[in-house]
A and B are shown apart, each in its own frame.
Chain A
Amino acid sequence: MTTGTSASALDTVARATNTPDEPQPYAELGLRDDEYDRIRQILGRRPTAAELTMYSVMWSEHCSYKSSKVHLRQFGEKAPASDALLVGIGENAGVVDIGDGWAVTFKIESHNHPSYVEPYQGAATGVGGIVRDILAMGARPVAVLDPLRFGPADAADTRRVLPGVVAGVGGYGNCLGLPNVGGELVFDPSYAGNPLVNALCVGVLKADRIMLAHASGVGNKVILFGARTGRDGIGGVSVLASATFDDSGAPAKRPSVQVGDPFAEKVLIECCLELYDAGLVVGIQDLGGAGLSCATSELASAGEGGMVVDLDRVHLREPSMSAEEILASESQERMCAVVAPEHVAAFFAVCARWDVDARVIGEVTAVSPEEASRGGRLVVTWHGETIVDVPPRTVAHEGPVYQRPFARPADQDALVADDPARLPRPATGAEFRATLLALVASPNLCDKSWVTDQYDRYVQGNTALAQPENAGVIRVDEVSGLGVAVACDGNGRYCRLDPYAGAQLALAEAYRNVASTGARPVAITNCLNFGSPEDPGVMWQFERTVTGLADGCQALGTPVTGGNVSFYNSTGDTAILPTPVVGVLGVLPDVRRRTPMGFGGADGAALLLLGRTRPEFGGSEWAWTVHRHLGGRPPEVDLAAEAALAEVLVAASATGLLAAAHDLSDGGLAQVLVEACLRGEAGARITLPAGADPFVWLFAESAGRALVAVRPDDRAAMADLCGSHGVPWTDLGTVQASSTDLVIDAVLAVPLAELRAAWSGTLPALFEG
Chain B
Amino acid sequence: MPRVVVDVMLKPEILDPQGQAILGALPRLGFDGVRAVRQGKRFELDVVDEMTEQTVRRIAETLLANPVIEEFTVHTG
What residues on B are CB-neighbors of A255 within 8 Å? 11, 13-14, 68-69
Q: Decide if A230 is an interface residue (CB 8 Å cutoff).
A: yes
- Closest chain A residue to B36, Cβ basis: A317
Cα distance, A255 to B14, chains bound together (Å): 8
Q: Is the CB of A261 within 8 A of B69?
A: no
Cα distance, A252 to B66, chains bound together (Å): 17
What residues on A are CB-neighbors of B66 within 8 Å? 118
Cβ distance B9 to chain A, nearest Cβ, rounded Å: 13
Cα distance, A117 to B68, chains bound together (Å): 8
Q: Is the CB of B12 within 8 A of A259?
A: no
Q: Is the CB of A331 within 8 A of B15?
A: yes
What residues on A are CB-neighbors of B13 within 8 Å? 230-232, 252, 254-255, 318
Q: Decide if B65 is an interface residue (CB 8 Å cutoff).
A: no
Q: Is the CB of B15 within 8 A of A227?
A: yes
Please encode chain B, from 43 to 77, with 1 for each CB lying within 8 Å of some chain A CB and 0 for all others.
00000000000000000000000101100000000
Cβ distance A537 to chain B, nearest Cβ, rounded Å: 32
What residues on A are CB-neighbors of B10 within 8 Å? 259
Please encode chain A, from 252 to 279, with 1 for each CB lying within 8 Å of some chain B CB and 0 for all others.
1011011111011000000000000000
- Closest chain B residue to A231, Cβ basis: B13
Interface residues on A, range: 20 to 34
Q: Is the CB of B15 within 8 A of A261?
A: yes
Secondary structure of the A side of the interface?
A: loop
Interface centre among A232, A257, A331 (most CB of B within 10 A): A257
Please encode chain A, from 110 to 128, with 1 for each CB lying within 8 Å of some chain B CB and 0 for all others.
0000000110010000000
What residues on B are CB-neighbors of A118 within 8 Å? 66, 68-69
How many residues of chain B have a CB within 8 Å of chain A?
14
Q: Is the CB of A257 within 8 A of B68?
A: yes
Q: Decide if B2 is an interface residue (CB 8 Å cutoff).
A: no
Interface residues of A in 298-344 (CB under 8 A from B): 317-318, 331-332
Q: Is the CB of A318 within 8 A of B12?
A: yes
Are A332 and B69 CB-contacts (below 8 A) given A259-B10, A261-B20, A355-B24? no
Are A263 and B69 CB-contacts (below 8 A) given A255-B11, A318-B12? no
Cα distance, A317 to B15, chains bound together (Å): 8
Q: Decide if B40 is an interface residue (CB 8 Å cutoff).
A: no
Q: Is the CB of A232 within 8 A of B14?
A: yes
Q: Is the CB of A121 within 8 A of B17?
A: no
Q: Is the CB of A121 within 8 A of B24?
A: no
Interface residues of B in 8-31 (CB under 8 A from A): 10-17, 20-21, 24
Q: Is the CB of B17 within 8 A of A263?
A: yes
- Closest chain A residue to B69, Cβ basis: A257
Cα distance, A252 to B12, chains bound together (Å): 10
Are A259 and B68 CB-contacts (below 8 A) given A318-B12, A355-B24? no
- Closest chain B residue to A329, Cβ basis: B13
Q: Is the CB of B12 within 8 A of A121?
A: no
Cα distance, A260 to B20, chains bound together (Å): 12
What residues on B are CB-neighbors of A254 within 8 Å? 13
Are A259 and B17 CB-contacts (below 8 A) given A117-B68, A118-B66, A121-B69? yes
Contact surface of B with A, Cβ cutoff 8 Å = 10-17, 20-21, 24, 66, 68-69
| Supplied contacts A254-B13, A257-B14, 16 more A-B pairs, CB within 8 Å | A118-B66, A118-B68, A227-B15, A230-B13, A230-B15, A252-B12, A255-B13, A255-B68, A258-B15, A259-B14, A259-B17, A260-B15, A318-B13, A331-B15, A332-B15, A355-B24
Which 7 residue pairs are nearest across A and B when measured between Cβ atoms?
A231-B13, A261-B17, A259-B15, A118-B68, A259-B14, A257-B68, A257-B69
List 15 A-B residue pairs with CB atoms under 8 Å apart, sorted by A's residue number. A118-B68, A121-B69, A231-B13, A232-B13, A232-B15, A255-B68, A257-B14, A259-B10, A259-B16, A259-B17, A259-B69, A261-B17, A263-B17, A317-B15, A355-B24
